[in-house]
Chains A and B, each alone.
Chain A
Amino acid sequence: MSGTAHKWMRIAFAGPGAVIVAVVVMAGMSLWLPRGAAGIDNLVLPLVLVPLIWAGLFFHACLDAKLWRVAVVATGLLLVHGGLVAQRFLERKPVVAEARP
């Protein structure tokens, strides 16, 4: 891969990539975080932490010398959390279909 392509990939991961992954991680975190004493930790912690998650992804994309590592981390987080959200969405659909007479 050429230097210019590397540069644009890094910009993509640090820019729109970090935003998309952070938002998807925020959504997915609500499905695996423990609910805590009041049953709400999994709902509020992602909301509080999302600026830091985004900043972490942004700086990782900027500073990790190995671009493949940046891609693995970002894609991995996206797939895992996106998958959790998709799975929840699919689980809900048959319930809604059955509820209708």
Chain B
Amino acid sequence: MIHLAKNQTKLMIAVHGWSGILLGLLLYAVVITGMAAVFADEIGAWSAGHVETRSAFERPFGTALRALGERTSPKYHDGVDLFEVGDHDLGVFFHRHETDAGGTLISRGMFYELGKDGRVIHTQAGTNEDVYGARNDNALSSFLVDTHVRLHVPNPWGLLLTGILGLGMLVAAISGLLIHRHLFKDIFTLRRKAKPVLLNRDRHSVAGTWSLPFAFILAFTGSFFSFYGTVGMPIVAMAAFGGDMQAMTEEVFGNPGKPDPRPTAIGNIDRITSDAIRRAGTPPTFVTIEHFGRVDAKVTTYHAPPGGDIAPVSLLYNGATARFEQTKPLIGKAPSAGGTLVAIMSPLHFGNFAGLLSKAIWFGLGFAMCYVTFTGLRLWLVRREEAMRSLDWLDRTVTVVGLGLPFALVCAAAAFLIAMPLGTAVTCTTGGFLIASAAVIVAGVVWPTAAGLGHAVQRATGIAMLLLPPLRLLTGGPGWAAAIMAEQPIIVALDIALLVAGGAMIWRGRRLQAPR
């Protein structure tokens, strides 16, 4: 398609191949957990047996909020974050912004969880890391998201690592486009009876071509998310604000209006939420209160985008009078090109702008990208099979990571289901993942052939998937009738998906092994 000189094509092939083989295994881990994380909310509801469908913001909580305000130290009244936790319970985080020892902006304060009857069921002092981190009932979805966002490496190194992997994917997508001379002529060609090199090349380039625009978008938005907080904002703040991160945050995220620190009771928050639901058409996903207990208090409600849009909506209210002020852009005090661009980064990356339909598409595209990464690694190996016999270790490593990761993730889900009723899900989910990974690594070392190893791991994954729905029921999860009665069909849908996927993997494994 794009005709480069021969030496330039050779260089691009080298760039594509080496970036792929050096970063490919880690990138595969990021992409596969990202694919699963598209459905993090649904996986959370399925795994913890959540059957409540009414949003916490559709219940009155104003009285409870005022009571919490009175019992919380005024030093934590700078901001209050309100969000759903557990089975549509309400989390309330009173906090103030400060800089930690390492210079990172954090929030520190008191967190409360309010049950459906408005009573406080959990209290915790800490920072945003503690409050938004893994809990017993969301340990599985939290594990998936954390692996994807930072590969469980502590901040900022984990974010920098995934950012670099995102740039690697960007380079692979662009160099892949530059290498492929007949992009559209080859787009429907998948040879099945061909030499291994051609077979793998077709698989890799067909999947890669069809998913290319999305690979580009996901790599670009993903590296933005990894770099903007760790590197981007501090550097831009240094250049434009002399290093004052708080001033830059205020400029970018702050609300219009003059400060007025005179104390006054917080307005009727229930009136605000019902008005917000009416205006936006959906309950808020997140609510923030700035300057709680002051005349200049502001309440911002964040909602999923209305039909047709992709950027989330945020509504601004006067916190003291509970009156609606304006529809606020996500970033900046007025609508702007820059604000819109930042606002669409999330929906483009997460695919959550149109409910299950957009999530399903993004899940499929994520699967395509896993396939592209995996077949790319295979292609690199197959190209060198004749030249170097000693690459068996790398072949096995690709199988262990490529096929072992899905197996370990399914085992993590099983460990979660067993541990959640016991209250030890946070450690046991990770533990289950690590034990399964160790088992696959050992198999990778001892199995007689690399091909046989692949079949065995696929079969094991299929069996594990088939066992998840009965395990979920055995450990106290709601049955299908209960889930449908509670209007939570996602539990049934995920059970069916696991049974179908598990069955398909076992059937495919048997077909591959059948004598020809």
A and B together in one complex: yes
B170 near A55 with CB under 8 A, answer yes
B223 near A92 with CB under 8 A, answer no
> From residue 29 to 78 of chain A, which have CB atoms closer than 8 A to chain B?
30-31, 36-48, 50-52, 54-55, 58-59, 62-63, 65
B171 near A27 with CB under 8 A, answer no
Which listed residue (B219, B240, B342) contacts A42, Cβ 8 A? B240
- Chain B residues whose CB sits within 8 angstroms of the CB of A21 once the complex forms: none
B228 near A47 with CB under 8 A, answer yes
Residue A88, interface by CB 8 Å: yes
B338 near A43 with CB under 8 A, answer yes
State A56–B329 Cα separation when bound (angstroms). 30
B233 near A36 with CB under 8 A, answer no
- Chain B residues whose CB sits within 8 angstroms of the CB of A55 once the complex forms: 167, 170-171, 174
- Among the listed stretches B4-12, B55-63, B427-435, which one makes contact with chain A, having 4 or more residues with CB under 8 Å of it? B4-12
> Nearest chain A CB to B336's CB is how many angstroms away?
4
A interface: dominant SS: helix
- Chain A residues whose CB sits within 8 angstroms of the CB of B235 once the complex forms: 23, 26-27
- Chain B residues whose CB sits within 8 angstroms of the CB of A30 once the complex forms: 236, 239-240
Residue A28, interface by CB 8 Å: yes
State A96–B175 Cα separation when bound (angstroms). 48
B239 near A38 with CB under 8 A, answer no
Residue B263, interface by CB 8 Å: no
Q: Output the nearest chain B residue to A88 by Cβ-Cβ distance.
A: B239
3 closest pairs, A vs B, by CB? A38-B332, A41-B338, A38-B336
B interface: dominant SS: helix
- Chain B residues whose CB sits within 8 angstroms of the CB of A58 once the complex forms: 171
Residue B497, interface by CB 8 Å: no
Residue from A27, A31, A40, A45 with most neighbouring chain B CB atoms (10 Å): A40
Residue A79, interface by CB 8 Å: no
A38 near B333 with CB under 8 A, answer yes
A36 near B239 with CB under 8 A, answer no
State A63–B15 Cα separation when bound (angstroms). 11
Number of residues from A at the complex interface, CB < 8 A: 33
User: Total contacts A to B, CB within 8 angstroms?
Assistant: 114
Residue B220, interface by CB 8 Å: yes
A43 near B252 with CB under 8 A, answer yes
State A89–B237 Cα separation when bound (angstroms). 12
A39-B336, A43-B338, A44-B341 given; 5 more Cβ-contact pairs under 8 Å = A26-B235, A31-B240, A42-B240, A43-B236, A47-B227
- Chain A residues whose CB sits within 8 angstroms of the CB of B231 once the complex forms: 23
Q: Output the nearest chain B residue to A85 by Cβ-Cβ distance.
A: B239
A63 near B8 with CB under 8 A, answer yes
B171 near A38 with CB under 8 A, answer no
CB-CB under 8 A for A27 and B224, given A40-B336, A41-B338, A63-B4: no
Residue B36, interface by CB 8 Å: no
A sample of 16 cross-chain residue pairs with beta-carbon separation below 8 angstroms, ordered by A number, consists of A27-B238, A37-B332, A40-B251, A43-B240, A43-B248, A44-B338, A46-B232, A48-B224, A50-B224, A50-B227, A51-B170, A59-B174, A62-B12, A63-B8, A63-B11, A63-B12
- Chain B residues whose CB sits within 8 angstroms of the CB of A27 once the complex forms: 235-236, 238-239
> Nearest chain B CB to A24's CB is how many angstroms away?
9
State A26–B227 Cα separation when bound (angstroms). 12
B337 near A41 with CB under 8 A, answer yes
CB-CB under 8 A for A44 and B252, given A36-B337, A38-B338: yes
CB-CB under 8 A for A26 and B335, given A39-B251, A47-B228, A48-B342: no
- Chain A residues whose CB sits within 8 angstroms of the CB of B239 once the complex forms: 27-28, 30-31, 85, 88
B12 near A38 with CB under 8 A, answer no
Q: Mark B220-255, 1 if CB is under 8 A from A, else 0.
A: 100110011001110110111010000010011000
B251 near A48 with CB under 8 A, answer no
State A73–B389 Cα separation when bound (angstroms). 44
State A58–B104 Cα separation when bound (angstroms). 30
- Chain A residues whose CB sits within 8 angstroms of the CB of B170 once the complex forms: 51, 55
A38 near B339 with CB under 8 A, answer yes
- Chain A residues whose CB sits within 8 angstroms of the CB of B335 once the complex forms: 37-38
Residue B484, interface by CB 8 Å: no
A51 near B336 with CB under 8 A, answer no
> Nearest chain A CB to B256's CB is how many angstroms away?
10
- Chain B residues whose CB sits within 8 angstroms of the CB of A63 once the complex forms: 4, 8, 11-12, 178
CB-CB under 8 A for A40 and B332, given A47-B232, A55-B170, A63-B11: yes
B236 near A39 with CB under 8 A, answer no
B236 near A26 with CB under 8 A, answer yes
> Nearest chain B CB to A14's CB is how many angstroms away?
9
> Nearest chain A CB to B236's CB is how many angstroms away?
5
State A94–B505 Cα separation when bound (angstroms). 69
- Chain A residues whose CB sits within 8 angstroms of the CB of B220 once the complex forms: 51-52
